[in-house]
Structure 1
Amino acid sequence: MQGAAVFSEKVCELGEGPSYDPATDTLYWFDIVRRKLLEKRLSSRETRVHDLPEMASAIAVIDQARQLLLTETGFYIRDRHSGKLSLHTRLEADDPSTRSNDARVHPCGALWGSTMGKRGEDKAGSIYWFFRGEVRRIFPLITIPNSICFSPDGTVAYFADTRPNILWRVECDPSTGLPKGEPKVFADHKGRDGGFDGSVVDQDGLLWNACWGGSSVNVYAPDGQFLRSHSVPATQASCPAFVGANAGGLAVTTAWQGMDAEQRKADPEAGKTFLLEVAVNGRHEPRVQI
């Protein structure tokens, strides 16, 4: 029987950006609007919470000692042991109306990171390509960029705009992570309940998408066909991540952002992080090349 277990009782207003580090058996994630970085070993009961100087939404492994954070002003190197942040590359630092959002590392080590308006302003966001210190804006005029993920061989990239509720696919150069050609619609859910939020792609090319407002993680075949749905015990599922030594588990963050008191009472698990009791053929995130 499928279900879910609470991985962390820490309640996030906007839980997002989960990323698992197999070297330390640790899941990292964010409460974006509260400026928190959270971490928890799969074998531990304790969730550690780190205060951040600004909003951040994504983390990637550089090496054993360093991580890369995407924040509202740029890419920062984080010393794993001290927590100290050092600026590496600025990104929209001159625009206080935007912040970072979804991101993921391509198999070659490039990172696709995104920005959006802090109030969800229409078409205020973009998706950027970052690789070995170089940054390029590759997709502008996106309102709520999400679902950034890649096929296992790096030849296909996916991304969504949650506002119109469309998920796209685009051919990719596997050696650089740069897009080739124009994006094509992968799944169109305009007018449906629940929006495309964060996604990951497993070793079989199946895309696992957190459905914001839909209390679920939904699975799609490489041709865009909907395959199945797995329940999440909170309405606003935000992003999944493969976890475990063999990437055979699936964690998912959630949020209570935008809910009033009555809605939160009706959704008591909102903001917690869960492990879904499902079988996945997952894969670990590549290290980012800075």
Structure 2
Amino acid sequence: MTETHSFTGRVLCETACQLGEGPTYDPATGKAFWFDIKGQKLHELHLPTMTKAVHDLPFLGSVLAVIDAERQLIVSDRGLFIRKVADGTLSPFLTLEDKPQNRSNDGRVHPCGALWASTMGRNAEKHAGAIYHVAGDRVTKLYSNLTIPNSICFSPDGSIGYFTDTDVDHLMRVALDPKTGLPAGEPEVLCDESGGPGDVDGSVCDADGLIWNARWGANAVEVYRPDGTKIARYLVPASQSSCPAFIGEKADRLLVTSAWQDMDAAGRRADPHAGQTFELGIAVKGRFESAFAL
């Protein structure tokens, strides 16, 4: 029986995102970033001072990766863009696919510096999405016919990749070449979560190889061993928890985004923290995201 823990954390940001997603942290600046995909916003929070900034975007952004002190990579429905940190200027970089009916969704940088990024239909159309591998300016399609590709994360040594199609709710495991982040075998089902409650959404993998998954529709973050055994469940105060990220100087804290997407007025009244961003309030053995190798 998986032990369930009450929420002991705090609301990190009260702004209610329609679809809060794609959180990450830059240890060089002490800033956490996340998106409101549907609201076309990039949120920025300087953790030492709790100073907040919100940046309007001209597209549906969903993934941010640090390149260096001056530049960031943003994945969006219009492709990949390089963002200047100083003034927010955006420059087109790459296109993942020629499907204007799609948008970007989940993504994460492999320890080698390559990016995995996913796409999906704007209305979660069946089998419209895919997962791509981006190494420098080279794009490789890894998996197709996915509906809501999510949960992309990697073992600390880069030898294992994890992902899911939230529509199917199987957490998948695949062997990788640690030097390239490319698959070295066929994906296998690590854990079948199709029985509910909720759905497998965004994930991160900690320094011990544990997988921390935000459980959409179940107001929780759940923890898995690399063999798929679920060992803990931590509640959060919003039903649609969407994605976690390690934050803080030692990567020992956990940020969790959420969403109010698809809720009517009554639903939002019943879920007053929906869309807010939380700190889980426990000590974790996290690790920092790798920079994207341009």
Scaled by the length of structure 2, what TM-score is found? 0.97
Once the 2 structures are TM-superposed, how far is the Cα of residue 2 of structure 1 from its aligned partner? 5.1
1:181-196 alignment runs, 5 A limit: 181-196=185-200
The equivalent of 1:81 in structure 2 is 86
The aligned counterpart of 2:139 is 135
Q: Are residues 1:214 and 2:255 paired?
A: no
For residue 99 of structure 2, the aligned residue among 85, 95, 114 is 95
Letter in 1 for 2:60: M
Match of 1:11 among 1, 8, 16: 16
- Aligned twin of 1:201: 205
Per-residue deviation, 1:170? 0.0
Percent identity (aligned) = 53
1:67 aligns with 2:72: yes
TM-score by length of 1: 0.98
Residue equivalent to 1:47? 52
- Unpaired stretches in structure 2, ≥5 consecutive residues: 1-5
- Give 2:3's aligned residue: none
Residue in 2 aligned with 1:20?
Answer: 25
C-alpha distance in structure 2 between counterparts of 1:57 and 1:194, whole Å: 21
Counterparts of 1:84 and 1:117, CA distance in 2: 27
- Report the residue type matching 1:140 in the other structure: S
Alignment of 1:262-277 (within 5 A): 262-277=266-281
- What is the letter of the counterpart of residue 291 of structure 2? R
Does residue 281 in structure 1 map to residue 277 in structure 2? no
Looking at structure 2, the residues matched to 229 and 110 of structure 1 have their Cα atoms a distance apart, in angstroms, of: 31
Once superposed, which parts of structure 1, at least 4 consecutive aligned residues long, lie more than 6 Å away?
none
Code of the residue aligned with 1:115 in structure 2: it is: T
Q: Distance in 2 between matches of 1:209 and 1:98?
A: 24
Is 1:239 the counterpart of 2:243 in the alignment?
yes
Cα distance in 1 between the residues matched to 2:243 and 2:105:
11
Amino acid at match of 2:209: G
Cα root mean square deviation, aligned = 0.9
In structure 1, C-alpha distance between the alignment counterparts of 2:266 and 2:48, rounded to whole Å: 35
C-alpha distance in structure 1 between counterparts of 2:290 and 2:169, whole Å: 28
